[in-house]
Amino acid sequence: MRGPSRKTIGFARRLRGNQTDAESALWHRLRNRQIDGRKFVRQMPIGYYICDFVCRERMLIVEVDGGQHASSSRDAVRDRFLREKGYRVLRFWNNEVLGNAEGVLDVIAGALRDHGQQDEAG
């Protein structure tokens, strides 16, 4: 079977409807190609994982984490899997997104721009 399972897709849809305040705030700034004209999707399944925000064109994943992710070894395994698939992963804490949205957006915009330079260098 290709692509995510129906179960994974259903779970991703439920997550879209139950975003945290930080995820919702960031989504309002990422949607509609607001950063460098790049399209992001939310709660996208990749393998067994559901990623918060993904720019498929630039192979960039943005994760917004709460306190339950502090020192999580599962996140390291997940990030390694996603990197092996060719993605870059940015992680931000909920309080960073809510308290320093412009700084978070600057980091995301920089990562989107760096993508082309990495391709030329590599």
Tell me the CA end-to-end span of the chain in Å, nearest whole number: 33
Q: How many domains does the chain have?
A: 1
Instruction: Annotate 65-74 with b (16+ C-beta within 10 A) or e (fewer).
Output: beeeeeeeee
Backbone angles phi, psi at 2, to 5 degrees: -95, 150
Q: Given the DSSP bridges, would you call strands 60-65 and 88-93 parallel, antiparallel or unpaired? A: parallel
In a domain, 35, yes or no: yes
Question: In this structure, what CATH number is given to the domain that contains residue 53?
Answer: 3.40.960.10
pTM (2 decimals)? 0.80
Which residue range is the domain that position 98 belongs to? Answer: 6-115
Per the CB < 8 A criterion, the answer to whether 98 and 29 are in contact is no
Helix (H/G/I), strand (E/B), else coil: 66: coil
Digit-coded pLDDT (tens) for 39-78: 999 999 998 899 999 999 999 999 998 865 455 688 889 9
In a domain, 67, yes or no: yes
In a domain, 121, yes or no: no
pLDDT above 60 for 17:
no
